Structure 1
Amino acid sequence: MVKAVDLVGERWTFLVLCEALAGATRFSEFRARLGIASDVLAARLAKLVDSGLLARQTYREPGQRPRDGYCLTDAGREMNVVLSALQEWGGAHLSDTAPTVAYRTGDGRSVQVRFVDGEGAVVPSGDVRSERV
Structure 2
Amino acid sequence: MTRTDFTGIACSIARSAAIVGDPWALLIMRDVTLGLHRFDDLQRDLGAATNVLSQRLERLVEGGLLRRERYAERPDRYGYHLTDKGRDLVPVLLALTAWGDRWEADDAGPPLIVRHHTCGDDTRATVTCRSCGDELTADQVGYHPGPGGRTDRGTALIGTVLESP
Give TM-score scaled by structure 1 length: 0.85
Tell which deviates more after alignment, 74-83 or 102-111: 102-111
Q: What is aligned with 1:41?
A: 53
The one-letter amino acid of 1:66's match is D
Pair 109,40 (structure 1): closer, same or farther in 2 beyond 3 Å = same
The one-letter amino acid of 1:8's match is V
Structure whose residues are more often strand by fraction: 1
Q: How far has the Cα of 1:105 moved from its partner?
A: 2.7
Greater length-normalized contact order (CA 8 Å, ≥ 6 residues apart): 2
Residues 54-93 of structure 1 mapped to structure 2, 5 A cutoff = 54-60=66-72, 64-93=74-103
Q: What is aligned with 2:152?
A: none
Q: What is aligned with 1:18?
A: 30
Q: How far has the Cα of 1:119 moved from its partner?
A: 4.5
Pair 48,132 (structure 1): closer, same or farther in 2 beyond 3 Å = farther
Alpha-carbon separation, structure 1, partners of 2:105 and 2:37: 31
The one-letter amino acid of 2:103's match is H
Q: How far has the Cα of 1:7 moved from its partner?
A: 1.3
Q: How far has the Cα of 1:14 moved from its partner?
A: 1.3
Structure whose residues are more often helix by fraction: 1
Q: What is aligned with 1:128?
A: 141
Tell which deviates more after alignment, 42-51 or 120-129: 120-129
Pair 26,130 (structure 1): closer, same or farther in 2 beyond 3 Å = farther
Q: Which runs of 5+ in 1 are unaligned?
A: none
Alpha-carbon separation, structure 2, partners of 1:39 and 1:49: 15
Pair 131,15 (structure 1): closer, same or farther in 2 beyond 3 Å = farther
- Two-structure CA RMSD over aligned residues (Å): 2.1
The secondary structure found in structure 2 opposite 1:43 is helix
Q: How far has the Cα of 1:124 moved from its partner?
A: 4.1
Give TM-score scaled by structure 2 length: 0.70
Residues 98-113 of structure 1 mapped to structure 2, 5 A cutoff = 98-99=109-110, 100-113=112-125
Alpha-carbon separation, structure 2, partners of 1:124 and 1:19: 28
Number of aligned residues: 131
The secondary structure found in structure 2 opposite 1:116 is coil
Query: Identity of counterpart residues, as a percentage?
Result: 31
- For the 8 Å contact 2:129–2:136, the answer to whether it is kept is no
